[in-house]
Amino acid sequence: MIQEYLFIGGEERAEIEEYRPKKVAVEIYEIENSECWVAIYSVPGEKEESANLLSKVNKHITSKYHPTVLTNGCAAYYNKMLFPYINEFERKLRKLLYLKSALNKNDIATENIKNLESKDLGEIFTLLFTDDLFVKKVKTAINTKTWQFTRQEILSEIEKLTENTTWDHLIGTASVPALREQFLTVKDYRNDVMHAHDVETKIFRDAKKLYEQINKQLDSEIRKIIDIAEKNPEETKNSDYNSDLSSALERYTNVFSGFSPVPITGNLTAVPDISLSEIYNVDLDIPAILKRQQELQGALANLETIKIDSPVLSQLQGLSSQIKTVTAGLQELHIDIPALVQYQDIASKIDIPAITEALKFQNEFQAITGGHLGELQHTATLSAETSSIFAGIEKSASPQHPDSLEKKEPLLKGD
């Protein structure tokens, strides 16, 4: 089992050559015609003792010298040894869910099982351990406060709310407690292994212990539901388990159904919820709009010194009135303009498949706009119209050659 580290330059080489951990062989070689050199640490055998020795070496080298890790043999060993536990966990969790639906059989049991089979573990975790109604209530409670709230205020608001997850409702608060109480840790350990992250000795031991505990509890829960079905069939026959599970699956689907990147057509204000596709199609440059409004108001204030054709003047006055009305409406909404611009930038970079992050952004954006997306769109349109008119005014007000005056009818007329 080996660890390989790539270094560039010789600043740390003397220290590295002096570092000789016990029971670990060390080899250093240079890559010819370059400033690169590689330090190799090895221990015989593919076993936990070897991995533990090299994990200490890895922690020392990476934390002190920050080289490029070419080979991390101890992490690879830990990942490989944890995989069977994680695989066993996922299979037993699915077994529990499938059996619960089948033993509480009704007309939709088969459909529920197929629906669960189509979901990956991350989706199942979201379905089982999150309460979308609770999340909405928390966001509403926070967004109705001023920006000068304290940590204790937020915690107090959250403590007032109730959370009812699908797991608690359908499986039970006392069922598989290690999973129920540590599902986020379970998910993190699983991601470390499945994505080949570097795992240290402590994480390996903690993860192995937790998965062993959960797998035993899953076995116990599976035996319990089978015993109930065999000894008390009426208890499962009259259960609403599948109906409630079907409702939870439907709610889960509805929560994420708004994230389709389909272009929006028609009136945006007619859409009840703000989806990401709408946000992508809103082309707002808030600072430019406000600046253009100030320029327009300044120009109208100096009309005594400038004579403009009456049709143009009427158009400018009409647009000014509309902009003032819309801007007044925006001010009444108390919208944080810099925050809105920042949300737009976030929207342009969102990775649609990252469903959970996208949902968080959508809810926050909806809270800021308060359903007045149409007014923002209207402001952008008015800004574009004033830009074209100002272009004509500025061009006509600038000095021109006599020949050009004969060829074009001036927009501005003198006394």
Q: What is the pLDDT of residues 113-129, one digit of tens each?
A: 999 999 999 999 999 99
pTM for this predicted structure: 0.59
User: What pLDDT does 141 receive?
Assistant: 82
- Mean pLDDT within 278-282: 45
Q: For the segment 167-183, what is each residue's pLDDT rounded down to a tens digit?
A: 999 999 999 999 999 99
User: What pLDDT does 381 receive?
Assistant: 62
Structure tokens at 255: 């929560």
| Phi/psi-derived region of residue 194, left when phi > 0, alpha when psi is between -120 and 50, beta in every other case | alpha
User: What pLDDT does 251 receive?
Assistant: 84
More confidently predicted of 361 and 86: 86
More confidently predicted of 353 and 53: 53
CA 235 to chain centre: 41
Cα gap 375→326, rounded to integer Å = 7
User: What pLDDT does 365 receive?
Assistant: 63
| Phi/psi-derived region of residue 195, left when phi > 0, alpha when psi is between -120 and 50, beta in every other case | alpha
Q: Does position 302 have pLDDT exceeding 60, yes or no?
A: no
Q: What percent of the chain has pLDDT over 90?
A: 43
Q: Does position 391 have pLDDT exceeding 80, yes or no?
A: no
Cα gap 357→370, rounded to integer Å = 20
Cα gap 352→280, rounded to integer Å = 12
User: What pLDDT does 281 receive?
Assistant: 47
More confidently predicted of 369 and 221: 221
- 29 φ/ψ angles, rounded to the nearest 5 degrees: -140, 150
More confidently predicted of 67 and 401: 67
Lowest mean pLDDT segment, chosen from 43-57, 159-173, 232-246: 232-246
Contact call for residues 76 and 199 (beta carbons, < 8 A):
no
- Name the CA dihedral angle for 243, 246, 251, 256, rounded to a multiple of 10 degrees: 180
User: What pLDDT does 269 receive?
Assistant: 36
Cα gap 163→161, rounded to integer Å = 7
**Mean of the per-residue pLDDT values for the chain?**
77
Q: For the segment 221-277, what is each residue's pLDDT rounded down to a tens digit?
A: 999 999 988 988 777 665 688 888 998 888 887 765 544 443 433 333 333 444 444
